[in-house]
Amino acid sequence: MSTIARQLAKLLIAAVLLAGDDLGVSAQERYDPGASDTDIKIGNIMPYSGPASAYGIIGKAMSAYFRMINEDGGINGRKINFISYDDAYSPPKAIDEARRLVESDEVLAIFAPFGTASNIAIQKYLNARHVPQLFAITGASRFDDPANFRWTIGWQPSYRTEARIYAAYILKHYPDARIGILYQNDEFGRDYLVGLRDTLQDRYDRMVVSSLSYDISTPTIDSQIVAIKAAAPEIFINIATPKFAAQAIRKLAELDWHPVHIMTNVSVSVGAVLKPAGLDNARELLSAGYQMDVTDPQWDAHPGMQRFRAFMARYMPDVDRSESGPLIAFSMSTALTEVIRRCGDDLTRENIMRVATNLDFEIATYIPGVRIKTSPTDYRPIEQLQMMRFTGDRWQWFGPLLDGRGDGTTLSSD
């Protein structure tokens, strides 16, 4: 081999080795905007003001949770920079804040944006930008649509599934009852109506004697409650967010009207809804849930609840301990922490979604048996619920854990 040939061979070997080193580094550490060796930017949109401001405590508790995580060294050595903005439960403002988070703050993902209407408003924008809309706080069925919106994944059980559970309970225990319904006039409320019709089927039009809606801009739903009562239903289904759910509970008491009262899970907080409505007024209220009740002493010795209470004592000592919002935040932030941990050093938006859509684990603050389970074709992390009844001071579980996956044949109650 000539001298020139030997030199060319050495240069080729060096180039191959250098390329190999570069490939090794890129395989170990991959970043999209919002991630680096030292920190990860996570965005959030929450109604700190406006008609759904009762939920703002969730965002505040998430901020506290990530302060705790950062004080403990972060996730895989990286600190979480949690950036949360107020959309006042307004879809146009949600769009503005989503753009701000993506284009100005350059977050890696938007985590736990709140509300059906706001999430619908930002869905197309985030999917067009390939930014994860991760664990949106809404049960609207449209957020389980990987074929059309692969960058959007919800969190809680679908409203449609929850409504099917209530309808199955009614058919088992009150098959001939007349039903009155109050619902929010948007996709949140309408999803419940679809779920009720799924199960009641041809009985729906006969059993539902009154179905009235309200807009979130209205100051009160008193007139709707009076009109529903006039139709003399034996069952009242309260499909309302906290402010209006509490109004409905109070109005029923004022009217001395005592139907079987079923209320959506989004308004079950003892501190944010039932206390303002009057605990005695809420007695015998029915709902369905999947998260431990912070007011229920049966969970006092549970390790998950003990960790949550230790967190609250240190980071949110002045918050009402009967509020369920902080536990929602704690549980969801635990899930995000697990997703980021599993991503390792591949902190790309693509990998965030790959991990988030291949989950199967339990969260220690959810009732035993509830699993966080997703797949690339199933974007519903939680599909299990259990019926519960308010005793006057806490929620009491009854019946089996019901699973809404598949065709819904498991939706029955003991």
The sheet with strand 395-403 has its strands ordered as: 208-214, 179-184, 235-239, 260-263, 286-289, 384-390, 395-403
My answer on whether 276 and 172 are in the same domain is: yes
My answer on whether 82 and 212 are in the same domain is: no
Helix ranges (DSSP H) in 29-131: 56-71, 91-99, 116-129
Give the span between the Cα atoms of 272 and 105, in whole angstroms.
32
pTM of structure: 0.82
Closest CA to 365 of 269, 287, 290, 313: 290
Does the residue 391 lie in any domain?
yes
pLDDT score at 90:
96
Do the beta carbons of residue 328 and residue 335 sit within 8 Å? no
Give the span between the Cα atoms of 29 and 171, in whole angstroms.
55
Total domains, the chain: 3
More confident residue, 216 or 15: 216
My answer on whether 214 and 318 are in the same domain is: no
Does the residue 409 lie in any domain?
no
My answer on whether 126 and 267 are in the same domain is: no
Does the residue 251 lie in any domain?
yes
pLDDT tens per residue, range 71-123 = 999 999 999 999 999 999 999 999 999 999 999 999 999 999 999 999 999 99
Is it the case that residue 268 has pLDDT exceeding 80?
yes
Is it the case that residue 13 has pLDDT exceeding 50?
no
My answer on whether 373 and 391 are in the same domain is: no
Does the residue 413 lie in any domain?
no
User: How far from the centroid of its chain's Cα atoms is residue 384's Cα?
Assistant: 13
Region 137-148 average pLDDT: 92
Does the residue 356 lie in any domain?
yes
My answer on whether 144 and 43 are in the same domain is: yes
Is it the case that residue 393 has pLDDT exceeding 80?
yes
pLDDT score at 29:
86
pLDDT score at 259:
98
Percentage of the chain lying above the pLDDT 90 cut: 84
Please, which pLDDT band fits residue 133 given cuts at 50, 70 and 90? very high
Range of the domain at 3: 1-30
Low-confidence winner among 11-25, 51-65, 222-236 (lowest mean pLDDT): 11-25
My answer on whether 176 and 281 are in the same domain is: yes
Closest CA to 308 of 322, 294, 319: 294
Percentage of the chain lying above the pLDDT 70 cut: 91
My answer on whether 176 and 265 are in the same domain is: yes
My answer on whether 392 and 278 are in the same domain is: yes
pLDDT score at 22:
39
My answer on whether 43 and 26 are in the same domain is: no
My answer on whether 173 and 275 are in the same domain is: yes
Q: Which CATH number characterizes residue 235's domain?
A: 3.40.50.2300
